[in-house]
Structure 1
């Protein structure tokens, strides 16, 4: 298995799930999709199986028997090994301590915001802000419900962080839209039309 499979950001999520309890890859996939829309978009069954295979080859997880549910085929259940636990702790420590510039699709799009023109940029940012505001309100309600149900705050700390990021993005969007409307953010003269092929 190529080393790059161990560099996949989902390795941390898989090791974290197996810290909680042994599982077979299908259970891992279902749990990752349940917990995070980001993981749901980023993972498919084939890539998860490749990651689990790479983790087993690295000695970070080990097969702990088979499990059968109904008429489904037997599935191999994996558990975290001591080396896997050590790797999980190392990765967590490193990723928490070391801020990295993470490139998102939105950041890439914002780099070319000028191509939309002032009206198009205002419209697009306003719509994104409305959608983000709606999602943030829903996420805030879910977080409040979890805390009201006595879920320990540490178990939902990632949801709290995601809300803080979303609120920060909303504040930035509002400020940029205000700057476009007041003229504080200006557009240069229109560039020449691209040449036709």
Structure 2
């Protein structure tokens, strides 16, 4: 089953939805929005950059999703603009959020890219790197568990859903990476013979072009040929 294509939106940066969410609560000025997102740990799930925030705000305003509510000045400080969400912005935020929750879309995690090209590495090197990744995953999972027991202990679960989701994803990733490394070590992963054979040839000083030419000439077994086809 194909994953859904996200709807084309006038402002597609996920930070825009975070801005709409802030203004859905009440009118705010930009620094207030940033502080609110950081206090609630939204940096864990939304890339938050103060420079990008201003560009997103201007784009949302241009498309009528937010508007200037008022301007304020305190003493000699620069004037600050307070923004509010419009009716169109409320509709956009509601539709966008529903889409994000309901429809799975294709994403491109960096680790998935790395795993898709794993055959470029010798099996032993792949195992070593996978094991190092597990150490880093363990550290991150443990740190997040400490946060749950400490500063986040009294935060209602409703406001920590994305944190728990991330923890579950990290735990699942760790389990898969551990299992993959073990299957490579045990030579139980499918295609291990061709994988080892390829890197044995590379270790003998043959280039990929040499190997491919000799595969075409029928000099190697079908397993290596399958890997390079």
**Aligning the two structures, in what range does the TM-score lie when normalised by the shorter sequence?**
0.7 to 0.9
Aligned length in residues: 190
Give the superposition deviation at 1:162.
0.7
Q: CA RMSD in A?
A: 2.5
Question: How far apart, CA to CA, are the structure 1 residues paired with 2:169 and 2:77?
Answer: 41
- Structure 1 segment 1-197 matched on structure 2, within 5 A: 6-33=11-38, 35=41, 36-39=43-46, 42-68=47-73, 72-145=77-150, 148-149=153-154, 151-185=155-189, 186=192, 187-188=195-196, 189-190=198-199, 192-193=206-207
Per the TM alignment, residue 22 of structure 1 is displaced from its structure 2 partner at its CA by 2.5
Query: Is the CA contact 1:64–1:77 (under 8 Å) kept in the aligned structure 2?
Result: yes
Distance 1:22 1:145 in 2: 31
CA distance in structure 1 between the aligned counterparts of 2:168 and 2:181, rounded to whole angstroms: 20
Per-residue CA distance 1:111-134 (angstroms, 9 max, x = gap): 112222112211211111111111
Name the CA shift for 1:22/1:164 in 2 (closer, same or farther; >3 Å).
same
- For structure 2, the 5+ residue unaligned runs are 1-7, 210-229
Contact 1:65 1:76 in 2 (8 A): yes
1:49 deviates by 1.3
Whole-Å separation in 2 of the counterparts to 1:29 and 1:60: 18
TM-score, normalisation: structure 2: 0.73
The Cα offsets for residues 55-111 of structure 1, whole Å up to 9 and x where unpaired, read as 112221111222446754222121222221221111111111100111122211221
Tell me which moved more, 69-78 or 172-181: 69-78
Mapped to 1, the partners of 2:123 and 2:149 lie a distance apart of 38
TM-score by length of 1: 0.83
Contact kept in structure 2, 1:136 and 1:167, CA below 8 Å: yes
- The whole-number CA distance in structure 2 between the counterparts of 1:71 and 1:5 is 37
Unpaired segments ≥5 residues, structure 1 = none
**Deviation larger for 87-96 or 67-76:** 67-76
Query: Quick check: 1:147–1:153 contact (8 Å CA) kept in 2?
Result: no
